[in-house]
A = this chain, B = another copy of it.
Amino acid sequence: MATKRVSVFKSVLAADEQFALRIRREMDERGVLVLNLIGSPGAGKTSLLEGSLRRCRFRAAVVEGDIATARDAERIASCGVPVVQINTKGGCHLEANLVSKALGAFELDKIDVIFIENVGNLVCPAEFDLGEDCKVAVCSTAEGADKPLKYPHLFHECKAVVLTKKDLSPYVRFDRELFWGDVEALNGKAVKIEVDNLTGEGIDTWLEWVEECLEQKRRP
């Protein structure tokens, strides 16, 4: 049973990998940067995007992944940015075939950066390639400093870790040194950024990193 299960899984994954490859190829040709934002429910992914979209100098679009509702897409739309909501109807992560359809709704020659906000889940989305340039881990101080070691896969895979809700840290006894020390141990190359969604602190640092990734991608 186990072998059969694994082989069927592999076929399904292989089909989806083709979608991911196609997305990556097209976005590379167009010079569009694609970031896959992954974090727990309530980590502050949508708030991070709201804060970013109001300040950024590049042309952005957003793909919202949720099990149900279009609430996040409505929040993004009110920032005046093109957005497509994907409802997975129970599915715990986005898949490349769904993202591929969503991208078809954008005028891609008018976009520099596409943010994909994955389903709120610190586990499963880390396993699936959506054709992105890189994964970004989003984690809030309210979740506790033990999350990198307890959910190592994402922290190992991502190119940047954004720690949100810095304003809450005095109330939640967040151990900042433990958190960043564990991130460093799992992934010494990950860029480390702290943001405070309320005051906007750190958003510029985050946007500078995104711009740097975009420039790097477009450098001949």
A209 at the interface (CB under 8 A from B): no
- CB-based contact A150/B66 at 8 Å: yes
In the complex, which residues of chain B have a beta carbon less than 8 angstroms from the beta carbon of A120?
A: 40, 122-123, 150-151
A149 at the interface (CB under 8 A from B): yes
- Of B67, B69, B71, B168, which is within 8 A of A168 by CB? B168
Cβ contacts under 8 Å, A92 to chain B: 92, 121, 123-124
For the complex, is A21 an interface residue (Cβ under 8 Å from B)?
no
> B123–A67 contact, CB under 8 A?
yes
Q: Which of A114-169 contact B (CB under 8 A)?
A: 119-124, 127, 140, 142-144, 146-147, 149-153, 165, 167-168
Q: Contact between A147 and B42 (Cβ–Cβ < 8 Å)? A: yes
Q: How far is the CA of A172 from the CA of B139 in the complex (A)?
A: 15
The contact size tier of chain A is 35 or more
- Residue in chain B with minimal CB distance to A91: B123
- Shortest distance from the beta carbon of A122 to any chain B beta carbon, whole Å: 5
- Contact: B12 with A5, CB < 8 Å? yes
Residues 60-85 (chain A) with a chain B CB within 8 angstroms: 66-69, 71
Distance in Å from the Cβ of A186 to the closest Cβ of chain B? 10
CA distance A219 to B151 in the complex (A): 41
Chain A positions near chain B (C-beta within 8 angstroms): 1, 4-5, 8-9, 11-12, 15, 40-42, 66-69, 71, 90, 92, 119-124, 127, 140, 142-144, 146-147, 149-153, 165, 167-168, 171-172
Contact B121 A122 (CB under 8 A): yes
State A66–B71 Cα separation when bound (angstroms): 30
Q: Which interface residue of A40, A42, A168 has the most chain B CB atoms within 10 A?
A: A42
A124 vs chain B, min Cβ distance (A): 5
Residues of B within 8 A of A140 (CB): 42, 142
A67, B151: Cβ atoms under 8 Å? Answer: yes
20 contacts between A and B (CB under 8 A): A5-B12, A8-B8, A40-B40, A40-B143, A41-B147, A42-B140, A67-B123, A67-B150, A68-B149, A69-B146, A71-B146, A90-B127, A92-B123, A92-B124, A120-B151, A121-B121, A121-B123, A123-B124, A124-B124, A165-B172
